[in-house]
Amino acid sequence: MTSYVLLVAPSANRVYADAAVALTLAELEVLSATVLSGRITELAPVRLAGLPYVGFTAPELSAPEIAIISNASSLYALFARDGDLLRPVELAPLAHFDDDLITIPKYAGKTNEQFTKLLLNVTVASSAWGSSLVDGQLKVLDPLCGRGTTLNQALVYGYDVAGVDLDGKDFEAYGSYLRTYLQRKRIKHQLDANPVRRDKRLVARRLAGSITPADGSRTLAVDVVNADTTAATDFFKPETFHAIVADAPYGVAHGSRTVAAGLRRSPLQLLTEAVPGWTRLLRPGGALGISWNTLVARREDAAAVLAAAGLTVLEDGPYGRFRHRVDASITRDILVATRR
């Protein structure tokens, strides 16, 4: 057995304050149980020369296992421990696009990048396609996509992405950011924004097309709809997605913009209305991961909404250890559920 220590990114310590190590432990425990055949054991916080690490024991990690761990959301560096010495482990994170695709956009209401990656990781790993986390071209939907943090992370992973958001400004900002980014980096793409009409009535706008990352390994589909997410089934075929990942509105105002009526629903009301449709869009074996503010909706109530839609909520072990404080008005938690 080899003893490893993972150095948590300094930025994660800033974002999560005291919770960075606990969240990394929970994420690695999910990855171990789902996609690493339980081979990571003895997960525990470790302090070395005054710095916080996450320690674990495993048989000598294989290249495919290192590839999975390389994508852990708070990972900065990984070392194998040899007595007092640390041997750096060469990492191989997924990078079909540069990280700046995710980090460049800055706006009020953006979901933290590391947290977005955490939610995507634990959701995909918990689906029946967990073993394809690093080499599959999975289809991921963020049905509350805002300006696309999840979509951009999923593109970096080489997945096909789809999104829904009711906010017209977010829809426009995402489309124009993505186009500008791809043009500037000379990445081959074809993206068209078009109105969606039913019975001659405008019901939505849609940004759709494809992107071929510079590595040429695949062509990725992009499909983002500006509409109410409770109508998501009007825009996508049933059983399309391997994973659905959403950071629900926090129920606290970000600025004083006037908002469309649909944006004023409480998070729990929104989930109650939307989750049945989202569930139909998941493939059997697919997983739904949501995050929300527990100060406005209790975990039991959010879990009951997922269970009422026929999903199996994962509550055991690490799945119950993602709760963390964001600020005085937000304590965030994660629920992951699978479709049979």
Residues forming the site for ligand SAM (CB under 6 A)? 109-111, 144-147, 149-150, 164-167, 170, 228-230, 247, 249-250, 262-263, 270
Strand runs labelled E in the chain = 2-8, 41-48, 51-58, 75-82, 85-88, 139-142, 160-165, 188-198, 201-212, 220-226, 241-247, 282-293, 312-314, 324-327, 330-338
What's the closest the beta carbon of residue 120 comes to ligand SAM, in angstroms? 11
Q: Identify which of residues 68 and 232 has a Cβ nearer to ligand SAM in the complex.
A: 232
Q: Please say which residue, 144 or 224, places its beta carbon nearer to ligand SAM.
A: 144
Q: CB within 8 A of 274, min separation 6: which ones?
A: 143, 229, 230, 232
Smallest distance, Å, CB 329 to ligand SAM? 13
Minimal distance in Å, beta carbon 328 to ligand SAM?
17
User: Closer to ligand SAM at the Cβ: 150 or 272?
Assistant: 150
Residue 161, by phi and psi: left (phi above 0), alpha (psi -120 to 50) or beta?
beta
Output b/e per residue, 298-337; b: 16+ Cβ within 10 A.
ebeebbebbeebebebbeeebbebbebebeeebbbbbbbb
Of 231 and 304, which CB lies nearer to ligand SAM in the complex structure? 231
Q: Which is nearer to ligand SAM, 29 or 333 (CB)?
A: 333
The distance of closest approach from Cβ of residue 90 to ligand SAM in the complex, given in angstroms and rounded to an integer, is 31
Cβ 114 to ligand SAM shortest distance, Å: 12
Taking CB atoms, the residue at the shortest distance from ligand SAM is: 146
